[in-house]
Amino acid sequence: MRGDAAGIEAYIARNWIDDEEQLRNLRTAGRTYNYYTYENETDNYQQDHYQLLFARDLSPSLQLNLAGHYTRGQGYYEQFRPNDRLSNYGLPAVEAGETPISRTDLIRRRWLDNHFGGLTYSLAWETSSPLKLVWGGGWNRYDGDHFGEVIWARYASTSNLGDRYYDNNAVKTDFNSFLKGYYALSPRLDLYGDVQYRRIDYRFGGLNNDRSLIAGDYEYHFWNPKGGLSYRLTPDFRLYTSYAIAHREPVRRDFTDAPLHAEGQGRNIPRPEVLRNLEMGWEGRLSPQLQLSANYYLMDYKDQLVLTGEINDVGSDIRINVPESYRMGMELQGVYTPIPELKLEANATFSRNRIGRFEDVLMNYDTGQQLRTEITNAPIAFSPNVVANGIVSVYPQRQLELSLLSKWVSRQYLDNTGADSRSLDPYWVNDLRVNYSIRPRFVEEIRLNLLVNNLFNTLYSSNGYTFGYIADGETIREVFLYPQAGTNFLIGATLRF
């Protein structure tokens, strides 16, 4: 696994604990603690997906594929906020006697209302000649509204309730086109390469959820080339190598959550990432029972967007550019089937993930200034050095499969300083999977599935966040962890007609 192995989605229906001792005590507490006391603390979001697919052979050597898609998304999450500032929502203080009321309990909703659609296409040319070509690409457009409203407050002017206290729109248009080719230099040696052009137009503006004005109009043009060689030593053994250059643009929250300039005026504009990726490896079947593969990679970045360890006020990760960084490692995979009733699978990634140089920033609330400390050769946040998976599958009967799934993840750092006090402990977790097939007369197959997650009820945390500041002459480093569920079950059935 490469990249941000423990990255989290921006789901709102979760919360953290801020004490590692509390995490250890959850076992004796019976895991019954629930931070949320408001019963409608829910995330209500719906997506409807529509697709239209078309494929046709224009000739024996030419195939056309077209696909249109549209996704309609809309929803909100509702949240109770105790003793929040009315000014955070554009609401005036409530006149009540001599002292105006500036804080109150309230309930807010934050909405997403978006449209996403586009078209993808490809034209493949393949004959008996050594050359094969594929031309394709796509055009996609996202149009999303983000807004919020207060639906109830203990103290407020009722005429303001229901008004949008923030409202902004983002439109992103993405066009790409690529040409990919394969050429057989000899019966054993293949040359392959492709080049992609991407144009991204990104516009957003309005009032953000912290009631600050945001506006942006950015256009990116990327050329992404790749080339490589593949050599077959035998029909069952292959060597390969490739080199590629790729770019990735910042996303909306990279702009809205960008840190302030050192002078405190305005925000840093995030820059697109540039990746130079070298890979080489081998794969082969050593016997009818054993398959192995190994892959070395070096991902050299310019301006990589890395997690800082902080989150914004809706739980999304905050990222910043770092000038120079890299991810380097070895990926190993193997499958061994000694007898038909037993199958062993394993894969592991051993990596080194480092930032050459960056500035750790702490706000000093005593002086109102930022304290900046340069750190070099630091591990990248949420990038474990070792991720290993294993599956042992037993087939006592033709229609029955029993599998034990194991996963080991080494230490991960919550920020980019490499401090063990702000890290996630290594963890090893096991799941049990049971599949049973029935073939009755009225359907082709009924497949029953049972998944027991965290089989041994392991207490572990796979995510968290941290932030720091200086107050009253003391440096504070807050650490919050997300404890994972104990043993839980998932039961399902699949019918094939």
What are the tens digits of pLDDT across the range 430-439?
999 999 999 8
Digit-coded pLDDT (tens) for 389-410: 999 999 999 999 999 999 999 9
393: exposed, middle or buried (C-beta count within 10 Å: 0-12, 13-18, 19+)?
middle
Residue 259 has pLDDT above 90, yes or no: no
Amino acid residing at 284 = G
Digit-coded pLDDT (tens) for 87-118: 999 888 888 778 889 999 999 999 999 999 99
Digit-coded pLDDT (tens) for 479-495: 989 899 999 999 999 99
pLDDT at 35: 57
pLDDT at 21: 54
Residue 128 has pLDDT above 50, yes or no: yes
**Of 363 and 344, more confident:** 344
Task: Give strand ranges (E) for 86-212.
Answer: 103-126, 131-153, 164-184, 189-207
Digit-coded pLDDT (tens) for 279-314: 999 999 999 999 999 999 999 999 999 988 777 766
Confidence of residue 3 (pLDDT cuts 50, 70, 90): very low
Q: Is 472 left (phi over 0), alpha (psi -120 to 50) or beta?
A: left
pLDDT, mean over the chain: 89
* DSSP bridge partners of 309: none
Nearest to 298 by CA among 332, 331, 329, 333: 329
Residue with tokens 């005593």: 366
356-385 mean pLDDT: 89
- What's the token pair of residue 210? 């912290």
**458 close to 428: Cβ distance less than 8 angstroms:** yes
Nearest to 275 by CA among 254, 249, 244: 244
pLDDT at 159: 72
**Of 191 and 24, more confident:** 191
> What pTM does this model have?
0.84
CA distance linking residue 376 with residue 160, whole number of Å: 50
φ, ψ of residue 254 to 5 degrees: the values are -65, -30
Digit-coded pLDDT (tens) for 175-186: 999 999 999 999
Contacts of 136 (CB under 8 A, 6+ apart): 65, 120, 121, 122, 123, 177, 178, 180
471-478 mean pLDDT: 90
φ, ψ of residue 420 to 5 degrees: the values are -60, -30
Percent of the chain with pLDDT over 90: 69
**330 close to 30: Cβ distance less than 8 angstroms:** no
Digit-coded pLDDT (tens) for 6-57: 322 333 334 555 555 555 554 444 444 455 678 888 889 999 999 999 999 9
pLDDT at 23: 55
